Structure 1
Amino acid sequence: MTTPGIHFLDAHGPDGVRLYAIGDVHGRLDLLAAMHHRIEEEIERDSPTDWRVIHLGDYVDRGPDSKGVIDFLVEARQRDPRHLMLTGNHDIGFLDFLRAPDPEGLFIRYGGVQTAQSYGVPLNEGANAWFGKAETLLRKGHAALVEAVPQAHVDFLRSLPFSMTFGDFFFCHAGIRPGIALENQSQLDLMWIRDVFHDHSGLYPKIVVHGHTPVPEAEVMANRVNVDTLAWQSGNLTALVVDGADKRILSMAGKRG
């Protein structure tokens, strides 16, 4: 039996639980801390019965303080387990590089140099020579980064789930493959999918809340919500707030990257 789809306008969060879903951070600790401060102010002001803050992945790369972002999230989760984090493709790429450095991998090619710098490791010294005689430099940089990254950061990144569900909402980093049940989605699609997901106009069993593909402002569609507003460069971090039937967008603006 096919599960009927649900339209964004009809979607509800779980009774008594306010949800905040924050888009891709990419090393912008300043924006993440400011967003959390705003959320804390709202929770104190409104006193919801319960709440969850859901982070949609891509904490590292490109922005200036990936290490600080992970420190912040580790502490937040330890302080209150209602702070929830999903994994993103860049987070997995970071783990992949720590395990086995690839000069053509995601980490080196798309912002890992900045991540390494946040740990005090200058991988950029060989950034223009990965395809030349940089093998020794790559090995040295990799070894230095492995030494510099706390085991707690590795354990944190390894612990992150690929998706979660609350009420009529399904949260993941990139999206889902149409026609596949939510519980059967592949990890690869949850981290990477784009066009086939974005182009699908039909309703899903739940509203898919995601990031991964930057948009100038939050994209609210009948079947999905994209809150990746390119925070590392635009200086605009975005979240979807769900409180029962009420839905709104919360933005935190700072300096451009």
Structure 2
Amino acid sequence: MTTEKLPREIYAIADIHGRADLLDALLGFIAQDAARQGSRPVLVFLGDLIDRGPESPRVLDQVSAALDLYPGSRLILGNHDYYLRELLRGTLAPEDAVNWLDWGGVATLSAYSNRPVPDLDNIASEIRAAHPHHVTLLETALTYKEIGRFCFVHAGIRPGVALLLQTEYDLRWIRAGFLDHTDVFDHVVLHGHTITASLRPEIHANRIALDTGAYRTGRLTAAVIRDDALSHFVSTEVDGTGAIHVGEWRP
């Protein structure tokens, strides 16, 4: 994979986990900011669109529409998204199916089927028939993306291994060996997958962690990259009345 020239502005959005309400608000903020500046940003979704939250199918609709609206935008496949892709392919291993349902897959499949207990024998064909654009979205997702000095990935990378030689498992699942690695990488790594201890985006010497636990905190976070540098973050917040607010945040 070749390194691409950095666009003027990039929003990297992590771990939505079925919170279509938060993504609606964040995308609205991005659209208003783009209109104000007369710009057309690139959006990179860092994966885990689905599970745990209540509206996973609508999140896939939103992301598919955003990729069409903002040329050059891409989805990175997360570990939760991987399970749905494998189900739709008919290649989901039984042990993976059990794990997926335990880790939030029931919410996704129930949202697709409108049944509290999803019918695994038939739901894949139902989803393929009713939501072919979801199939396309998952099948065209990347495992990582390099742009300028940044590497966009779901979970992280294995230190000491070239990007082209990274395993898909590590790119989607890694924690140990990556999160505790303190030396610099060839790129600054933007990632989600592991909820930050502060529940805020965190900047480290070699990586920027963006999973702020949106499905349970109401805080969905995007990093804003301008001219090959981190500019700031944009996050949603839910107040005591349930209203969603979006604003810029700087550590």
Task: Please report the TM-score for the alignment, with normalisation by the length of structure 1.
Answer: 0.82
Structure 1 position 101, deviation (Å):
6.3
Structure 1 position 27, deviation (Å):
0.5
- The residue that corresponds to 1:128 in the other structure is none
| RMSD of Structure 2 on Structure 1 (CA) | 2.1
Q: Distance in 2 between matches of 1:243 and 1:78?
A: 21
Q: Does 1:143 align with 2:124?
A: no
Structure 1 position 174, deviation (Å):
0.2
Deviates further, 181-190 or 157-166: 181-190
Question: Structure 1 residue aligned with 2:8, among 13, 17, 21?
Answer: 17
Q: Confirm or deny: 8 A CA contact 1:97 1:107 kept in the other structure.
A: no
Question: Structure 1 residue aligned with 2:24, among 33, 54, 66?
Answer: 33
Q: Distance in 1 between matches of 2:169 and 2:93?
A: 20
Task: Please report the TM-score for the alignment, with normalisation by the length of structure 2.
Answer: 0.84
Q: Distance in 1 between matches of 2:59 and 2:171?
A: 22
Question: Structure 2 residue aligned with 1:185, among 161, 166, 177?
Answer: 166
Q: Distance in 1 between matches of 2:168 and 2:77?
A: 10
Deviates further, 197-206 or 105-114: 105-114
Distance 1:95 1:224, change over 3 A: same
Q: Which amino acid aligns with 2:209?
A: N
Q: Does 1:196 align with 2:177?
A: yes
Q: Which amino acid aligns with 1:169?
A: F
Distance 1:142 1:199, change over 3 A: same
Deviates further, 185-194 or 247-256: 247-256
- The residue that corresponds to 2:85 in the other structure is 95
Question: Structure 1 residue aligned with 2:216, among 233, 238, 243?
Answer: 233
- Provide the identity percentage: 34
Deviations 1:54-97 (A, max 9, x none): 10000111100000011111222233333321100000011223
Q: Distance in 1 between matches of 2:156 and 2:216?
A: 22
Q: Distance in 1 between matches of 2:65 and 2:141?
A: 15
Q: Distance in 1 between matches of 2:5 and 2:231?
A: 12
Q: Distance in 2 between matches of 1:169 and 1:156?
A: 23
Q: Which amino acid aligns with 1:142?
A: L
Q: Confirm or deny: 8 A CA contact 2:184 2:205 kept in the other structure.
A: yes
Q: What residue ranges of structure 2 are gaps of 5+ in the alignment? A: 244-251
Q: Distance in 2 between matches of 1:71 and 1:168?
A: 30
Distance 1:101 1:181, change over 3 A: closer
Say which structure, 1 or 2, has more relative contact order (CA 8 Å, 6+ apart): 1
Q: What residue ranges of structure 1 are gaps of 5+ in the alignment? A: 1-12, 126-137
Secondary structure of the residue aligned to 2:84 is helix
Q: Which amino acid aligns with 2:133?
A: A
Structure 1 position 51, deviation (Å):
2.3
